[in-house]
Structure 1
Amino acid sequence: MYDHFPISDHAKKMREKLLQFMEDHIYPAEKIYYQQVEEGGRWCVPPIMEELKAKGKESGLWNMFLPHDAGEYKGAGLTNLEYGTLCEIMGRSSIGSEPFNCSAPDTGNMETIFMYGTEEHKAKWLKPLLDGEIRSCFAMTEPSVASSDATNIETRIERDGDEYVINGTKWWSSGAMDPRCKIAILMGKTDPDAQTHKQQSMILVPFDSPGVTVDRHLSVIGYDHAPHGHAEVTYKDVRVPVTNILLGEGRGFEIAQGRLGPGRIHHAMRSVGQAERALEMMCQRGMDRTAFGKRIADMGVTKHWIAESRCEIEQARLLVLHAAYMMDTVGNKVARKEIAMIKVVAANMVQRVVDRAMQVHGAQGVSQDTTLASAFANARTMRLVDGPDEVHRETIAKLELKQYRN
């Protein structure tokens, strides 16, 4: 893999250290984590996670997502390609990212504040986020409009003297249920009469502001994803200082594009890691169980599923690494088609692989006794996160056809 996409010695060392950390600490903690979530009232922080975070900090595998190294905001100095290889490893476990402060949506929010926030924003919000003291959410999707077209967004951000007043309802604000969620980056409309892509802005909203109400949590095919969770949130006459606007009025789409490119690499490579673990489980289960006088792994259909899964994982990984390489070398704008392609390919691939693993596990595969059922629910959401497959396919086709138009 690295012959085609070479990574630095620094990245290789981090990768080896991360692999060992996962074996020593993350996988053994999975059952403890979910047991503590059940026993602690679900929307409480499991003690085991704070222990893992402390170990993550000590290991030096902290804030690996941040490529920058500016002043007090220290990043790992990794390229998109290099960090992508680490995302694959963390993606093997549903709790694999938070111990290193590399969880969505916090990573995207931290990048956004780093790139577009003022020094005051960074001191107040970025520093505690980077230190893992608080968490955040991203408020973009709305229940009353088709948010796959972000120009539909109706939440209003209206200026009133030295303040902005925010009114609207958001949902699928991942992380909003977490008791540590202290800040939201909200996208809303500041000027409905402006050019279509200049109507929207992004603004920082402290989550304890008067008028911010968490209406309900939203489950994902029955899973509540506690204590992180996803929420429907109402913003009613919420007032924040005008200084909380990011980059200026009408710059929301510009910020969104800067935020989503790297995030799609992260999501896609985590999907590759999730698929790898599902394939391992499929093979192990096939070797351990017999039916009709032979091992399940020796049955023709199982061998075909294993082969198809291996082919699809390798194809997806190479495509994602290629997209990351292009982002690093020619920029996100030039790599737009490749970024859209990985969003479609990785999400569909992981759903197929996990589904096959569930089938080989039989009834156990749909139970709480393995990670497969929750992995399947998560995999299905990947076809919607950051825009549905259909939007990205339209983008791919449009860019492909561009060369044939006069």
Structure 2
Amino acid sequence: MTPEDRFPGPEHPHSGPRHQPDLDVLPYGTYYEPEPAAGYQGTPYDAETYSGYGGARYLEQHWPADGQGHSHTVHAQGLNTDQAPAFPHQGQYDGGYESQDVYEGQDAYESQESGYDDRAGYEPTLPDQPSPALQLPGRDDPPTIELGPPLPDPAAPTYPYPAPGPDEPPGPVYVVGDVHGYLEELRAALRHQGLIDADGHWSAGRARIWFLGDFTDRGPDGIGVIDLVMQLAAEAAAAGGYCRALMGNHELLFLGAAKYGDEPVQSTAGTASFLAAWRLNGGQQNDLDRLEAHHISWLSRLPAVALEDGHLLLHSDTTAYLEYGESIPDVNDAVHSLLSDGSVDEWWDCFRRFTKRFAFRGDAGPMAVHELLDTYGGTRIVHGHSPIPYLTGAVHADDGQPPHIPGPYVYADDLAVAMDGGVTMEGRLLVARLPI
């Protein structure tokens, strides 16, 4: 497992690829460099690597350069290592946890798909005054449309594109990799492709955009990213196109932290919770503080899998989706049912399964891709989740420079396209038009 996603818990032997890949053999793949939109004047995005926030150097700061993690203890308040944490009442948390409960007393967890050690050296910064955990809506809440809420302001600008004719083909398809709270980078990348205008509004007409998940955590403004995507969904619908999104493992983690807080989950590692795992994986307290009911409703209804123009769209490069159904509707219904009625342990199990990675790399990678394509349809998988520098082995350059990510990475006998450009590690936030 990469140092990006760390959490305690038992291994699920039937998750991930059916054959463990040789992690010493890198995939044979190629980079694809998207062309900018016609007439594009250029921004700092055009640099080989960039970050409006300095890239945060998240992995460089919290993962030793030699890849050797170490265990540590984060001292907490109000939590006894021998018992589950006590809450004043449901929906609140005391803000503390002890990482000894999570890691000590067991062997380091090794992901079936990655071979990375979970005992990472990331030291989370705990907020002094955590906010009460928010609650997910029940089944009686009014439904929301899949594309997002309507424009809330009657005075907001309209987009007078004509409606498509009955025989008119749909617009082009674009995919967006993991954003992780980097709002300014997202705006720059969308502008680079001509999908939004200088004011951040939809300018792509009948184009179709799919975000591949992971809007929050690590970066400075995850809620701002969600707000922008919801805005573009409404504007695109008015223009005859659409903007949609998949549920990533960080959406599950964020929603779980909001709903369950420090409520303990079943783990062979000892006491664990969504809130603790969310903090360990870059959760930003200002995102949790600003999370509102309409964000929760929208996030909890995102699909896990989609098929668009022969491209099977997934967040995670894992075969764990097969454990939730034999068709795309079955998988999405199973995940939505779990979020509506599932217990904290069922949520945790789902989060852990969709955090697996690297199923498509190595000699067994094409076989794993075919297993998903044969079940759900499509001719190629497009995914996020695993940063391209980890897929290619180019995490730490010899000259100390950030990884060079010219574009999406095509691998697994050209059957898989990786879209996570590693924006959290000074790579790039990728937006690309399909097919690649």
Larger RCO, structure (CA 8 Å, separation 6 or more): 2
When you count helix as a share of all residues, which structure comes out higher?
Answer: 1
- Compute the TM-score of the two structures, normalised by the length of structure 2: 0.25
When you count strand as a share of all residues, which structure comes out higher?
Answer: 1
